[in-house]
Amino acid sequence: MRLRGLPASEGPVEVLKVDSSRPDRRTLDAAAEAVLRGGVIAFPTDTVYGLGCSLLDVAAVEMVGRLKRRARDHAYISLIPDPSQALGLALSVSGIAKRLIDRCWPGPLSLIFVAAEIVPPRVRGAGGTIALRCPNDVLLDGGPRTRGIPSTLVDVSGPRPKLLRRGALDVTPWLGEFEDLTRERG
């Protein structure tokens, strides 16, 4: 099996099946090893399927960009296994961001922060930001995603939150005064 658009030199795509309720440790280890070798994996989150790689491996991040046909100036949402990891990847975490993390993570909310120095420039978005999400599950092939609604996206990198994408979670009650940029997009 091959991904459409993947160069033949990249080799065949290996499909690893995972039982969402009882994941096999060997399968998860194989996926982790692929990521550590600089590979890209596809997996379901609690919202939609995504492509993943090591955040710190710039070549792998660029491969994800090519596979998704993403413009170079578009940032990526980085998934983290524990909410506390935001403290190491974000330069600072505001009060509103802490409130959203406490109430909504793990879950279908992505937050944009000013990136810490450890985040490679190629992974950062406009203005040196990083988008983070702590999902409920990170598995490989758990079957079709029934919800099909992407995560909500909130920019908390400035003094006033900006709602960039309405998604699987309504966080507007916790934002206080915020800019709703979803209305400007149509």
Q: Burial letters for 87-104: b for 16+ Cβ neighbours within 10 Å, e otherwise?
A: eebbeebbebbeebbeeb
Interatomic CA distance for residues 53 and 62, integer angstroms: 10
3-state secondary structure the chain: CCCCCCCHHHCCCCCCCCCCCCCCHHHHHHHHHHHHCCCCEEEECCCCEEEECCCCCHHHHHHHHHHCCCCCCCCCEEECCCHHHHHHHECCCCHHHHHHHHHHCCCCEEEEEEECCCCCHHHCECCCEEEEECCCCCCCCCCCCCCCCCCEEEECCCCCCEEEECCCCCCHHHHCCCEECCCCCC
- The confidence score (pLDDT) of residue 110 equals 93
CA atoms within 13 A on the CB side of 170: 1
- Residue 138, token pair as written in the block: 């990170």
Local mean pLDDT, 10-residue blocks, the chain (186 residues): 38 72 81 86 79 88 85 79 94 96 93 94 87 74 58 92 91 93 72
* Nearest partner of 185 among 162, 168, 169, judged by Cα: 162
What is the phi/psi pair of residue 180, to 5°?
A: -100, 90
The 10s digit of each residue's pLDDT in 86-140 is 999 999 999 999 999 999 999 999 999 999 999 988 888 878 999 999 988 744 4
pTM (2 d.p.): 0.68
